Structure 1
């Protein structure tokens, strides 16, 4: 993500530790995103905002050739520990163009739980359309607008930036509330075709790990995931 809103220092360390087993990440968002990605055997995949490398690792296990980019050097260090030299990992501020990549050089792009942290979302979407081959797919996930409304209250149409506190009260993450209308409009305006929209539910085995979270995530939306495609000429 952007260097400004990326998870630096203690925030990055906290996220890296949590994302491996969290009901939200490991049992809800990641399975949904990987299901939307589908078969990536031999595919060139760009992991946008690769974080601590959990999605990169899963994509490698599915036979993909992965390039991961991340604005946090803290998280990039965790990703390198996780996948070693099996993937190309590079520091990159997602508020800036993807100038390291040529046109149509990737088959798939994955952008998991990054979109709502960015200010230059339209630029990034345009760049992703450029670097994907015709027919290539972008799988993107973000916070669910209804979940944000339930949590913050006020107007559903409030698209303000919020600082979400972490268990350590001295730490927080910054992101923007976005409506479904805004999200879909941005995707389509960038030139993508929307193939599938998913409201991820938790894996059934979460019930054995954390029944309370399983019930909550099974009854209230938390994330929104989409598979977009660069149209053929």
Structure 2
């Protein structure tokens, strides 16, 4: 469905992405995992259309979209800070993207999104009256309302913790199945990547370090960086890592 071919990018003479090859299937959840400065956010922006690559190609459903604008690609993103409009209530935030797209979403479809994300009791609340989890769900609803062909999430759980974090993780996995969405997630947290994704792309210094299922990453790390990166953040022995992810996509 989405293919990146030898994508390269540099800023001010510094190579940020170096020969990225990647194929993501329809309906797949893929996490892009890496340390700060690894290039994962730049890669997300290239896929979205915010940043052009210096070279390489982006193919979507057999069409070269490398030079196609972000608006024409039909992808959409939920930013790390949610980017909600503080002067609008929850409902007006959700439907904001539909103002210039009459007929894109039927009232029944909109109601379905609102009810699926359990937002009906919060529709008249202002943004500052919403909890972190509620803001995340409003941002997800606003994005889903535009019927994106690919859903991009930038650090979707970074501002959440505890039960709220686990609830949003479950929501994201459920909505990708319900709406048959291809979902690409940027995260610096191995636990998030391994428990949410069908496959994990690990980026190190602008290059693909490994791209595989959570099981492959845990049991068959392709180099010492992957093992050390996961171990350092999880702070447990490698033999016990897989036990932590029972029930994840493996």
TM range (shorter): 0.3 to 0.5
Using the size of structure 2 for normalisation, the TM-score is 0.32
Task: Tell me which of the two structures has the higher relative contact order, counting C-alpha pairs closer than 8 angstroms and 6 or more residues apart.
Answer: 2
Which has the larger Rg?
A: 2
Normalising to structure 1: TM-score of the pair? 0.34
